[in-house]
């Protein structure tokens, strides 16, 4: 694992490369994605059928062939053993409870002059969840995308997921049943994003598309932003752990590896003020790594993108962490509250010995769909807010109107908009 | 002005065309914008200087030439007459007061087992406001973009605006001073979006880009979504008025025209259950239209995109309005509260006789940057939320951890992520 020291000469340059970890050269991908999207928009169902047969190795003949039957979902759910069912239900309930607390209320504010100003918060009509499929299907992804939409009150939730060889994953089917999603389609990649953004003959466009995916899905989401709402553009997963000398090196090593096993491109980073901890963590990693079933992936991730940085003090750790804006941030330090206010940018903060990232991936309650690659500087975790939107409310009394009419007319005049000025003037005239 | 009746045979088809008013064929524009963005990303300041000289008819030699001097802003503000100053200040204060009420707080929730879950809300570090320039400069646009960022607590706010012939608009300068914005640059179009999204040698990239603009700006914003946060993709402005027989035809005509004078592509729509009102509004429009300074623009807008629809009843008016999801919705009906719950999709709702849209454009307080072209189905008005983001907070006690650890391990196991399972297991072992 690579080790840096902030007092070393080359540190700034080396750190800059880590900062740029989110940079993706998508110049090859964009034209291909544009072509797929254009084809879906113009040829609709015909394009989707052709693309599914091209990418997923089976031959759907009609749009109905792409629908997942509710009966199959129910049966898959019933086949689940009790232990798995209970784990999924506990996850569902805790995620539901947390997201319920996020839900914003409409509000009104009353002015002395009688004017009423406010904001009405309304669920979106129709949400499209993209869930990666095949061998990489994770039931937790389905729960984390579906539950905020359910809490928001979205009436129609649809799911798209690629199903290679037309062999749906049992857990995917069971998860659909658990989330009570009755509209799911065996369509993946940029095709699915296009289908949800533009609609087909028998499929109405959605209002928001959320969910993780590969570079094709990410670029397609970027390109349809504006036609629909998009949650975020996600890249490889990452963890940053800030630990002091009291932290448990074994826990840290396990947490770093839990990130590394996701993806060769995943980043696992430790920041500490304790030189000895770095040595200990390295030892633990060397011990655990060879025992992992996903050894090859984790090894490549740790070698290429793993990093331990020795800092002058915890304050410096926090400052570097804010610059990196990691997806997951673990605080394994003696007095985390002393630093919490200074933590500005990250997707989620895991505090203390008993909050490993993996607990947040599944059952803690907050969403595991988090901004990556530094985009935690501006994106928020997936949440109920992505499935709701606001409308301003403006009501004026005659008195309240008169109090502000003059200024509005002056400003309309400044901007050379006479009809704007008129629409105020006519209401001021005595009738 | 075009008139439709919902009971007519051709209505559905005609209405569908109105629904699709937001559709833009940007296929010609996207390659040009991609080229501009690529050039900015690769050649940085050199590209910006070249593009400004190409589009704005002056020859900046260095990046410093693009900076707007604070001294000029102060002087422009001082030159403003008292009346204009007061109007701008009243607008500023009311917009500030409204947006202050939007600001979300961080929150925590405590579980019986001692776990703490919550959300930390943090301002973005750096916001980039795009403000259209030249003759079309509107001081209200600057206020509406800057104030939510100020309320959010954004530390660095920068503004980009095209300045043809290097002749800055006096009101633009004064507005910058009023908003205490010290970093403003004479750069417009897709170049400005690229500069703010990628950064230059002497200019740090921003975290969010907001603000209106032409199709080049809109497409550039779409293409950099993900590198930065974007507020929305805006198109031509639009108003929809729902009125019953008690509404004032003169007020309605003025309000429709206030929208039409913006842009030939603007849409002004009246929905009513009163046949006579349509006749009266048409008369008023015919009378007022020729008197407007922006007659040519308003006339073309009203002729091409103006529309009055006679509906069976107000319920039908609301249903059609929800489908159209207009930017501005005026409710000029006897009992607006009876319909408010049913209004699902629009940027802002103006209620009653004394809330013309123009009052919301300037001084009511809510933002005038609103989703257009039907995107109110999923976008919200520009607000403080666009300049803040969230991080989840997860703290577990040992007891709280044990309560959920088993499920997390089962789910990690289901997903084949052994290192995830381990990172929980090691914490469960007795030490």
pLDDT digits (tens, 9 = 90+) for A86-116: 999 999 999 999 999 999 999 999 999 999 9
Sign of CA dihedral B99, B100, B101, B104: positive
Name the residue among B216, B157, B226, B224 with its Cα closest to residue B195.
B224
The H or E element that residue A390 is part of is strand A388-395
Chain A and chain B share a number of CB contacts under 8 A equal to: 369
Same domain, residue pair A42 and A120: yes
Integer-rounded Cα radius of gyration of chain A? 25
> Is residue A372 in a domain?
no
Domains of chain B: total: 3
Same domain, residue pair B328 and B270: yes
Say yes or no: B375 contacts chain A, CB-CB below 8 A.
yes
pLDDT recorded at residue B235: 87
pLDDT recorded at residue A235: 87
Cα–Cα distances (Å) from A336 to A131, A283, B106, in that order, read: 35, 26, 17
pLDDT band at residue B26 using 50, 70 and 90 as cut-offs: confident
Same domain, residue pair B86 and B214: yes
What mean pLDDT value characterizes chain A? 95
pLDDT band at residue B23 using 50, 70 and 90 as cut-offs: confident
pLDDT tens digits, one per residue of B236-270: 889 999 999 999 999 999 999 999 999 899 999 99
pLDDT recorded at residue B135: 65
Q: Is A156 a catalytic residue?
A: no
Looking up tokens 């394009």 gives A47
Same domain, residue pair B143 and B68: yes
> Is residue A261 in a domain?
yes
**Domain range spanning residue B414?**
396-428
> Is residue B134 in a domain?
yes
Listing DSSP states for B362-394 in one string gives: HTSSS-S----TTGGGT---S-GGGGEEEEEEE
> Is residue B374 in a domain?
no
pLDDT tens digits, one per residue of A149-194: 999 999 999 999 999 999 999 999 999 999 999 999 999 999 999 9
| Pairwise CB contact (< 8 Å): B359 & A394 | yes
pLDDT tens digits, one per residue of B313-358: 999 999 999 999 999 999 999 999 999 999 999 999 999 999 999 9
Q: Is the pLDDT of residue A431 over 60?
A: no
Strand (E) positions, B161-306? 183-185, 208-210, 229-230, 238-243, 267-272
> Is residue A377 in a domain?
no
pLDDT recorded at residue A135: 65
pLDDT recorded at residue B366: 98
Distance of alpha carbon A220 from alpha carbon B279, whole angstroms: 47
Same domain, residue pair B419 and B322: no
Domain boundary among B230, B245, B277: B230
Tokens matching residue B76: 């422009």
| Pairwise CB contact (< 8 Å): B86 & A407 | yes
CA nearest to A382 within chain B: B390
Same domain, residue pair B136 and B63: yes
Same domain, residue pair B41 and B153: yes
Angle at B42 between CA B37 and CA B47, to 5 degrees: 70
pLDDT recorded at residue B21: 83
Question: What mean pLDDT is predicted for residues A402-414?
Answer: 95
Same domain, residue pair A180 and A308: no
Same domain, residue pair B200 and B100: yes
**Interface ipTM:** 0.96
Same domain, residue pair A222 and A246: no
Question: What mean pLDDT is predicted for residues B71-95?
Answer: 97
Percent of chain B at pLDDT > 90 equals 92
CA torsion B214-B218-B223-B224 (nearest 10°) is 100
Distance of alpha carbon B191 from alpha carbon B39, whole angstroms: 9
pLDDT recorded at residue A285: 97
| Pairwise CB contact (< 8 Å): A390 & B381 | yes
pLDDT recorded at residue A430: 61
Binding site residue list of A: 237, 259, 262, 328, 361, 415, 420
Closest to A208 (Cβ–Cβ): which among B34, B117, B378? B378
Domain at B251, CATH number: 3.40.50.1980
Domain boundary among A178, A212, A230: A230
Integer-rounded Cα radius of gyration of chain B? 25
Question: What mean pLDDT is predicted for residues B388-395?
Answer: 98
Q: Is the pLDDT of residue A28 over 90?
A: no
Say yes or no: A393 contacts chain B, CB-CB below 8 A.
yes
Task: Give A42 to chain B, closest Cα distance, Å.
Answer: 12
Residues 159-188 of A with CB under 8 A from B: 171
Same domain, residue pair B221 and B269: no
Q: Is A368 a catalytic residue?
A: no
Same domain, residue pair B288 and B179: no
pLDDT recorded at residue B134: 66
Residue B338 CB-density burial (10 A; 0-12 exposed, 13-18 middle, 19+ buried): exposed
> Is residue B13 in a domain?
yes
Task: Give B60 to chain A, closest Cα distance, Å.
Answer: 28
pLDDT tens digits, one per residue of B103-117: 999 999 999 999 999
Cα–Cα distances (Å) from B188 to A59, B59, B160, in that order, read: 49, 14, 6
Tokens matching residue B428: 């469960």
pLDDT tens digits, one per residue of B173-194: 999 999 999 999 999 999 999 9
Domain boundary among B348, B364, B380: B364
pLDDT recorded at residue B246: 97
The H or E element that residue A110 is part of is strand A107-110
Strand B116-123 versus strand B388-395 pairing type: antiparallel
Closest to A423 (Cβ–Cβ): which among B83, B124, B358? B358
pLDDT band at residue B138 using 50, 70 and 90 as cut-offs: confident
Q: Which of B227, B238, B261, B327 is catalytic?
A: B327
Closest to B298 (Cβ–Cβ): which among A90, A378, A419? A419
């Amino acid at each position: 694992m690579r080790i840096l020291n902030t007092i070393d000469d080359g540190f700034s340059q080396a750190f800059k490369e880590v900062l740029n970890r989110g940079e993706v050269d998508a110049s090859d991908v964009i034209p291909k994605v544009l072509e797929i999207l254009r084809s879906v928009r113009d040829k609709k169902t015909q394009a989707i059928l052709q693309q599914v047969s091209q990418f997923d190795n089976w031959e759907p003949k009609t749009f109905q062939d792409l629908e997942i039957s509710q009966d199959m979902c129910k049966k898959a759910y019933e086949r689940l053993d009790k232990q798995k069912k209970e784990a999924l239900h506990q996850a569902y309930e805790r995620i539901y409870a947390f997201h319920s607390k996020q839900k914003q209320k409409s509000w009104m504010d009353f002015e002395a002059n009688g004017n009423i100003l406010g904001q009405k918060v309304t669920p979106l009509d129709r949400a499209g969840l993209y869930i990666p499929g095949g061998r990489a299907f994770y039931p937790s992804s389905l729960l984390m995308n579906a539950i905020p939409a359910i809490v928001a009150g979205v009436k129609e939730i649809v799911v798209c997921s690629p199903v290679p060889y037309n062999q749906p994953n049992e857990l995917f089917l069971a998860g659909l049943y658990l989330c009570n999603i009755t509209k799911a389609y065996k369509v993946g990649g940029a095709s699915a994003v296009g289908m949800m953004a533009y609609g087909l003959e028998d499929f109405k466009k959605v209002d928001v598309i959320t969910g993780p995916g590969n570079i094709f899905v990410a670029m397609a989401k970027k390109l349809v932003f504006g036609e629909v709402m998009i949650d975020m553009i996600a890249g490889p997963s990452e963890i940053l752990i800030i630990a002091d000398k009291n932290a448990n090196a074994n826990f840290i090593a396990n947490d770093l590896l839990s990130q590394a096993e996701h993806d060769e491109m995943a980043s696992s980073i430790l920041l500490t003020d304790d030189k000895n901890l770095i040595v200990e963590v390295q030892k633990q990693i060397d011990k655990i790594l060879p025992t992992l079933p996903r050894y090859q992936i984790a090894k490549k991730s740790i070698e290429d993108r793993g990093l331990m940085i020795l800092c002058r003090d915890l304050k410096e750790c926090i400052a570097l962490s804010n610059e990196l804006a990691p997806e997951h941030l673990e605080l394994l330090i003696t007095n985390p509250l002393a630093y919490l206010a200074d933590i500005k940018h990250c997707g989620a903060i895991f505090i203390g010995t008993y909050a490993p990232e993996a607990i947040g991936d599944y059952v803690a309650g907050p969403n595991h769909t988090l901004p990556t690659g530094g985009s935690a500087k501006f994106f928020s975790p997936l949440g109920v807010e992505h499935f709701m939107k606001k409308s301003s409310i403006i009501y004026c009394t005659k008195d309240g109107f008169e109090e502000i009419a003059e200024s509005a007319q002056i400003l309309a005049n400044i901007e050379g908009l006479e009809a704007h000025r008129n629409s105020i003037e006519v209401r001021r005239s005595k009738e």
